[in-house]
Amino acid sequence: MLFTPDKNSYYLMKIGVFALQGAFIEHEHALQKLGAEVVEIRRLAHFSENFDGVVLPGGESTVQGKLLREEGLFAPLKSAIEGGMPVLATCAGLILLADKIEGGEQPHLQTLDVTVRRNAYGRQLGSFTADAHIKGIGDYPAVFIRAPYVAEAGAGVETLSVVEGKTVAVRQGKMLALAFHPELTDDLRVHDFFLKVIKGEA
């Protein structure tokens, strides 16, 4: 399917992409291709409550959680999200948002009413691609890398995608959280959907 974004439609939208660790550059490129402006967040001075939205990329959630705390970004980010800042979180980002992590591990931001299971697909199936049907988007080539899944979700959480019986994409308000990596494909529809959510069009 050919998807041609309207490059002007997201002009002047400013998205903060957390660039502490992991696969953040690919998110930046996807958002820029759609016409949004991107600001990398590495330190507290880079963070602004005036961003139209933020991206929490994949990587290693334990490392990212530690760096968020060390850089003093943890509390401002948590309160911005609680105040309604839109978020696109992928893989490790989903783990950072989750209210609980199975196995008793210390959770992080706890703004998303879900319990996640980390590294949930076992060693053999550590990385794979699957056709995911995403509500509001359609069939999508989902790349999973040592991915978590959503084991339990609260009543206010909408399931957007289920793959092999496991919930792999959810939405709560303006938070979108995915177990897979839309930034690692050329398919811009997930980022486009996020920008539409920010604008109140999805």
For ligand GLN, the binding residues (CB under 6 A) are: 58-61, 91-92, 95, 118-119, 145-146
Question: From the CB of 45, what's the least distance to ligand GLN, in Å?
Answer: 26
Q: Which of 26, 91, 108, 191 is catalytic?
A: 91
Say whether 91 is catalytic. yes
Q: Side chain identity at 54, as an amino acid letter?
A: V
Given the complex with ligand GLN, which of 118 and 171 has the nearer CB atom? Answer: 118
Question: From the CB of 118, what's the least distance to ligand GLN, in Å?
Answer: 4
Given the complex with ligand GLN, which of 60 and 158 has the nearer CB atom? Answer: 60
What is the Cα–Cα distance from 14 to 135, expressed in whole angstroms? Answer: 25
**Helix (H), strand (E) counts: the chain:** 5, 12
Given the complex with ligand GLN, which of 13 and 150 has the nearer CB atom? Answer: 150
DSSP H or E run through 129: strand 127-134
Say whether 164 is catalytic. no
What is the Cα–Cα distance from 188 to 144, expressed in whole angstroms? Answer: 17
Is the distance from CB of 15 to CB of 51 less than 8 angstroms? yes
Q: Which of 26, 28, 71, 183 is catalytic?
A: 183
Question: From the CB of 8, what's the least distance to ligand GLN, in Å?
Answer: 32
Is the distance from CB of 92 to CB of 113 less than 8 angstroms? no
If one counts every other C-beta atom within 10 angstroms of the C-beta of residue 139, the result is 11
Using CA of residue 25, residue 29, residue 34, residue 39, what is the dihedral sign?
positive
Given the complex with ligand GLN, which of 10 and 24 has the nearer CB atom? Answer: 24
Backbone phi, then psi, for 176, in 5-degree steps?
Answer: -115, 125
Say whether 183 is catalytic. yes
Question: From the CB of 11, what's the least distance to ligand GLN, in Å?
Answer: 30
Positions annotated as catalytic residues are 91, 181, 183
